[in-house]
Structure 1
Amino acid sequence: MHALKGSLVIVAFFVIGVCCGLWGWLPGHWGSKISFYALCLLMFSVGISVGNDSQTLKSFRSLNPRLMFLPLMTILGTLAGTAVVSIFLSHRSLTDCLAVGSGFGYYSLSSIFITEYKGGELGTVALLANISREILTLLAAPLLVRWFGRLASISAGGATTMDTTLPVILQTAGQEFVVVSIFHGFVVDFSVPFLVTFFLQYIGNPD
């Protein structure tokens, strides 16, 4: 419930930002500057969390080698599903859809990246799509485990399985999947800036 509350707080701040823009409470050009500095701060924070958490890195050594493929399958499955959805979204290019899907639930970082490259409209889509993935994981984890197995809730959580969705995964999948969940979240989380940039800058705009 705490993680769900945090997600709702993020949505509330987004709504406040929309209101500020609609009613002219803040200059419009502030948006791009704030996004850039927020992006820098987020990347700095991610670096600190990775550098300080040496215990997590050590725990990866005890991981079953076969389970190391789980993040790769999550990434490939998400991109495949996003590619299928793009067929029904004629007003959006395949690369735009893949960039949104490449957020893997990491709505704060991915939406800022996409806003910088493609503007606020697609950035908003990325924010809502990825925050929906996190909320759905929090709410549907018990059903996912019951219907598809204990790894399903981890894969559904995407990049959030090392932080916000970890408690519900612990409750539904079991204590023995904690290291798997953290490793999965770490790898998928790390892939977000590279994949989003790849699809928008190098594939979507090859020149």
Structure 2
Amino acid sequence: MKGSVIVVGFFVLGVLAGRSGSMPAWVLNSTTSFVALCALLLCVGIGIGLNPDMKNDIKSLSPRLALLPVATILGSWMGAMAAYLLMSNDVCSILHHRSLTDCLAIDSGFAYYSLSSIFITEYRGAELGTIALLANIIREMITLLLAPLIAKRFGPLAPISSGGATTMDTTLPIITQSVGQRYVALSIYHGFVTDFTVPFLVTMWCTI
């Protein structure tokens, strides 16, 4: 929760700095975003490589539970399609200038707001990148705040799917508290797989 608040704070500071018109030219250069993206991917790889238990945790999973990331991805896409249909009708036409692939690209961030928003900004512009940042932050915060309620209402796998790519780091403590230690390995595996797919799936929807 604290981490999400900090990210939102930096986002607000960035908006204010951009509106001030006092940013140096090198900050506005698209190369800066690309370098930041490469550094972020490097940190992700280092974090995964430093986890000595990742291999054993994955081996301990049953084949049925190993398909949970697939269910998360497909379920998220179905939700994005439903939201697109709802928001593009005549009564609520706020997406009149956006395509279904835009919604699917945003949703394919799976709460990994920092990485997905940079990719979407590069491909589809700052407006959609900002929407992606906020949408994925909200997804993480919903999991952090409502994981116990989600687990009670929909079962122990539901908060893991809700957390998306964050279930191996920021939302892992609250998920463990909500569903028990027996789901720790699954949560880490789920976060790893969905985390790994984000660059590929976001890029795929942005280039269609």
Are 2:117 and 1:114 aligned? no
Which whole-Å CA distance do the structure 2 matches of 1:111 and 1:28 have between them?
Answer: 21
TM-score (norm 1): 0.93
Deviation at 1:27, TM superposition (A): 3.2
Q: Which amino acid aligns with 2:84?
A: S
- Alignment match, 1:96: 102
**Mapping of residues 180-199 of structure 1, within 5 Å:** 180-199=186-205
SS of the equivalent of 1:150 reads coil
Range with bigger deviation, 54-63 or 175-184: 54-63
- Alignment match, 1:132: 138
Deviation at 1:170, TM superposition (A): 0.5
Which whole-Å CA distance do the structure 2 matches of 1:199 and 1:82 have between them?
Answer: 12
Relative distance call for 1:28 and 1:121 in structure 2 (3 A) is: farther
User: Structure 2: any 5+ residue segments left out of the alignment?
Assistant: 88-94
Q: Is the 8 A contact 1:86 1:92 kept in 2?
A: no
Which whole-Å CA distance do the structure 1 matches of 2:6 and 2:32 have between them?
Answer: 19
Q: Give the alignment's Cα RMSD to 1 decimal.
A: 1.1
- Alignment match, 2:92: none
Q: Is the 8 A contact 2:26 2:32 kept in 1?
A: no
- Among 63, 66, 88, the alignment partner of 1:68 is 66
- Alignment match, 2:84: 86
Which whole-Å CA distance do the structure 2 matches of 1:126 and 1:132 have between them?
Answer: 10
Identity %: 58
Q: Which amino acid aligns with 1:66?
A: R
- Alignment match, 2:15: 18
Deviation at 1:34, TM superposition (A): 2.5
Deviation at 1:92, TM superposition (A): 1.4
Aligned pair count reads 199
Which whole-Å CA distance do the structure 1 matches of 2:20 and 2:98 have between them?
Answer: 28
Range with bigger deviation, 20-29 or 125-134: 20-29
TM-score (norm 2): 0.92
Q: Which amino acid aligns with 1:47?
A: G
